[in-house]
Amino acid sequence: AQSVTQLDSQVPVFEEAPVELRCNYSSSVSVYLFWYVQYPNQGLQLLLKYLSGSTLVKGINGFEAEFNKSQTSFHLRKPSVHISDTAEYFCAGVIQGAQKLVFGQGTRLTINP
């Protein structure tokens, strides 16, 4: 991807509420898309990825994302969040055939009890 934009820098939600973290990409060619999660004082961990096939991708910890080519989006969703989901989430993309991931600026998800 030439660029990846995460539309929200912070998202506060209440525990057990649904959440959507938004991500848009720009690219004139086919891309692979990823979501990573970073818990406090840790490295980035892969949540899920879209390489090809079904546009609805399921990841770890109950998260899923949908690849929408017409809207150039890859939004991350979870139907019911838990306190332990508090973290920073990064969307990233790469042009197929390339190796250099382009990261969004991150979205800080805060879960309130």
Query: Where along the sequence are the contacts to another protein (CB under 8 A)?
Result: 32, 34, 36, 42-46, 49, 51, 90, 92, 94, 96, 98-101, 103, 105-106
Quote the CA–CA distance of 30 and 59 in Å, as a whole number.
21
Quote the CA–CA distance of 59 and 21 in Å, as a whole number.
14
Smallest gap from residue 48 Cβ to another protein (A): 10
Smallest gap from residue 5 Cβ to another protein (A): 12
What residues have CB less than 8 Å from 38, skipping those under 6 apart?
44, 45, 87, 88, 89, 90, 106
Element containing residue 55 per DSSP (H, E):
none
Which residue, 65 or 81, is less far from another protein as judged by CB? 65
Which residue, 26 or 80, is less far from another protein as judged by CB? 26
Smallest gap from residue 105 Cβ to another protein (A): 5
Q: Residue 101 has which token pair?
A: 């991931």
Which residue, 15 or 64, is less far from another protein as judged by CB? 64
Which residue, 81 or 93, is less far from another protein as judged by CB? 93
Smallest gap from residue 12 Cβ to another protein (A): 19
Quote the CA–CA distance of 1 and 83 in Å, as a whole number.
32
